[in-house]
Structures are given as C-alpha cells and as structure tokens.
Amino acid sequence: MSIFRTIAMFLYLFGYMIVHYGTLRRGERALAAGDTETVEQLVDRHIPRWSRGILKVTGVTLTVEGLENIPKEGPCVFVGNHRSYYDIPLLLASLDKPHGILAKEELEKIPLLNRWMKLLGCVFVQRDDLRASVRALNDATAIVESGRSFVIFPEGTRYKGEEGGVGEFKNGAFRIAVKTGAPVVPVAMTGARALFENNGNRCHPGRVHICILPPIRTAGMSKAEQKQLPEAVRQTILAKLK
C-alpha cells in the first residue's frame, strides 16, 4: 500500500504544479515587474493548498497548537527541528501563512518546484561552501529586513536519531534574527520521520504534532545572550519534544 501512496504523492506533487503552470508564470511575471502584492496573493492561495493536498493524499493527520504565539506585527524567524522531507509541506500547511525557507541547494534543481520556491522567497544554500552559505544567510537577512518572516532548520540536515531528539543547532542561522532584531519563534515537530524516511523512503500514513512556542526577543540582546541563543532555542524545542 505504501508504494501506491508514494506514487500518488509524486503524481499530486507535480500534477498540481503542471495544472497550475499558468498561475506560476503569472507569478513570475509579477515578480519580475516588482508586483509583490500579486505574488503574495498567489503564493498564499496555492502553496498551502498544495501542501495540504500532499498530506491528504498520503494519509497524514496534522495537529497544530500555539498559533497565537506568532507575532501579529513585524517579521519573525521560525526555527524548527528537522526530521523529514515532509517538514517543508508540514510547515507550509500549518503556520499563519507560507514563508520563505532556507533550503538545501538540491531542491533548486527540481523542475517547477524550484520556481514555486523562488516565488515563495526561499533561499538555497550550499552547505559545503562557506562563502555561498554566507551569501545565502545575507539573502535571508534581507528578506526579513524587508518585513517578511522566514523559516530555518538550524541543524542544517535531517536528524536521524530517535524521536524526541535533535541535533546541534548551528550559530549561523540565528544571525538572521540577531542582525534584524526579529524575534525567534521555536517550532517543535514530532512524528514527521515516520511518514517517509522510517519506511524505506515510502509514504506511510501517520500523525504529526506541531507546537509553535512563544517568541524569543532578540532586539537588545547582549553578546553573551546572542552566543547562548542557539542552545537556548534547542533546549526549548527539546523540552517540548520530550
């Protein structure tokens, strides 16, 4: 059964983008013309719908708590633990609206998906190239400075350990929040890895719980507080996962 769910997922994933190719082109023309309002309208309408469709096709039940913790005014930086390829559609379907994501460069090579991600405001990073990583962080910082929230997975890769654990949180990603003064909003996700990776990379139905935790102010932080921020956020998420 899992193989049929996996086939259905890929058919839906790319089928939606093919059916709505005209919408994509409209968004790209609007982006080129600087019409950010039209781009935002198209992204806000289609990307959550596309993401929820992926979850429905593969039998995922999603529960979200803590939406009230998302700041009502000004941008923030969402920081989540990273367990699965599913994390991206899960967050696109569960936050207040879809936000740009700091994503690995491999996703930039996937036809159609890469173009929708660019409309969304995603930034692609080469993890093994220091200069490219710095440029990516600068690009993400500029997005937050423009007033848009952003999503990062500070582990830098999917954590493959037991459920309830997280990897090391890298310092670089937190510079986006510190430099802009935007609050950090920790996001704890459980159950995502059981949907795909734990089943030999085949889709499997399951339940995912996402908890959006209270924001952490970064404006006015001392140097010592900035240095402690990655581990403080890690411990906050870890406590919720357990």
CATH code, 96? 3.40.1130.10
Residue 233 lies in a domain: yes
Residue 204 CA to residue 135 CA, distance in Å, equals 37
Selection from 17, 139, 23 nearest residue 89 by Cα: 17
Provide the residue range defining the domain that includes 235.
Answer: 60-241
* pTM of the predicted structure, to 2 decimals: 0.94
Residue 30 lies in a domain: no
Residue 230 lies in a domain: yes
Residue 114 lies in a domain: yes
Quick one: which H or E segment has residue 94? helix 87-94
Instruction: Tell me what pLDDT residue 131 has.
Output: 87
Report CA torsion sign: 130, 182, 140, 189. Answer: positive
- Residue-wise pLDDT for 35-89, tens only, equals 999 999 999 999 999 999 999 999 999 999 999 999 999 999 999 999 999 999 9
Other CB atoms within 10 Å distance of the CB of residue 138:
13
Count of domains forming the chain: 1
Residue 44 lies in a domain: no
Residue 182 lies in a domain: yes
CA dihedral of residues 89, 140, 185, 157 (deg, nearest 10):
60
Percent of all residues in the chain with a pLDDT value above 90, rounded to a whole number: 89
Q: In what order do the strands lie in the sheet with 123-125?
A: 60-65, 206-212, 184-190, 77-80, 150-152, 100-104, 123-125
- Residue-wise pLDDT for 14-42, tens only, equals 999 999 999 999 999 999 999 999 999 99
Residue 11 lies in a domain: no
Residue 40 lies in a domain: no
